[in-house]
Structure 1
Amino acid sequence: MAKKAKTLGVNLPVPQSTEEATTAIADIGALNREIGRFNADANDRIAEINKVLADKVLPLQERVTALTEGLKVWAEAHRASLTNGGKVKFANLVTGTISWRNLPPKVSLRKVDDVITAIKQMGLGKKFLRTKEEVDKEAMLKEADRARTVAGVTIGSAGEEFIVEPFEVDAPGAQA
């Protein structure tokens, strides 16, 4: 049974001449500019909304911070009674809960090269240093014929992309 050939361009406005192709590119440019105007308008509106929101929320956030810090001072002063002598790390109050959490430990490094050198000098390399092994894809692309001989490696085509770039003029001093 013969395969049915795919028909490209069905239900698409396919230009039938160079003039129609030129018009299509101009239309694409006009549509892209219109999309850009809609996006710019939306971004302007979003910026206005964000400014109004920030103006209204900032004083509220400052008040929450002040209340939280004051509550923390009070809770620390009464921690023993609130936590039943340290048996629990929370206190249920009528309107909510306060609690204390231990943060997980973290390692901070300054001058990483010096730290690595010190670890090696102390003989702690196997405990505190790791070696990461990974495939060098850039090297494989440079030697594609040889890389193809490795089981599991496929060097594919980068493909081809069709690009339409309508000519546009930027006004002097205009920013995109």
Structure 2
Amino acid sequence: MTKKRIKSTNIEACSTREEAEKCIGDIGLLQRQVTGIESAMNDELAAIKQKYEEQAKPLNEQIYGMFMSVQAYCSVNRDSLLKNNTKTAKLTTGEVSWRTTPKKVTVRGAEAVMKSLKALGLERFIRTKEEIDKNACLNEQNVAENVPGISFSQKEEFVIRPFESEIERAETVS
């Protein structure tokens, strides 16, 4: 490789097509090695996770049983545990509480519900979302570029895709 520097970095540029082809091949080899390392790491992590999940399983089963036992007791004794319209009872070793979750709306068959709302004159339950159609702007760039606040940009990337590799590496060219 020649000593030609690129973009004020200390990276030596390839000086021939053959050098570039060799580098691309080497990149592919290195990427496959990285993939192998990541695969080995994931295998080890899965084994470690399984080991600790197995250790925690009997403890979680105990916790669940105790939780259900305390819940049964507290449900039967709720009136004596809760004072002054509170929702929390303080015991010696901790607290128990009853919480009401926020209401949740579930919609099944959204199109049919929309038709029903419109037929019943309940359009206030229908939200209309306005947003800029960027695809339309791209299709009519000559018109859209005259609108204040709309601009178009494009950049060129240099991509190396070695054969037999699914991983791409791309860098923005300035």
Determine if the TM-score, normalized by the shorter chain, exceeds 0.5. Answer: yes
**Structure 2 match to 1:29:** 28
Contact 2:31 2:165 survives alignment (8 Å) = no
The Cα shift of 1:129 comes to 1.4
CA–CA distance in 1 between the matches of 2:116 and 2:55? 52
Q: How does 1:57-136 map to 2 (within 5 A)?
A: 57-84=56-83, 87-125=85-123, 127-136=124-133
TM-score (norm 1): 0.84
- Does residue 146 of structure 1 match 2:140? no
Residue aligned with 2:102, SS: coil
- Report the Cα offset of residue 119 of structure 1: 1.4
Give the 3 Å change call, closer, same or farther, for CA 94–47 of structure 1 in structure 2: same
**Structure-2 separation of matches of 1:116 and 1:59:** 49
Correspondence for 2:160 among 159, 164, 168: 164
Give the gaps of 5 or more residues in structure 2: 167-174
3-state secondary structure, aligned to 1:141: helix
Amino acid in structure 2 at the alignment position of 1:22: E
Between the two proteins, what is the percent identity of the paired residues?
35
Which is strand-richer, 1 or 2?
Answer: 2
For residue 95 of structure 2, give the secondary structure of its aligned residue in structure 1: strand
**Counterpart position of 1:137:** 134
Distance in 2 separating the partners of 1:108 and 1:168: 47
TM-score for both structures, normalised by structure 2: 0.85
> For 1:73, what is the secondary structure of its paired residue?
helix
SS at match of 2:160: coil
Paired positions, count? 162
Tell me the distance in 1 between the aligned counterparts of 2:119 and 2:24: 66
Letter in 1 for 2:80: S
After TM superposition, give the deviation of residue 98 of structure 1 in Å.
Answer: 0.6
Whether the 8 Å CA contact 2:6–2:13 is kept in 1: the answer is no
Cα gap change, 1:29/1:9 in structure 2, threshold over 3 Å: closer, same or farther?
A: farther
* Structure 2 match to 1:173: none
SS of corresponding position for 2:89? strand
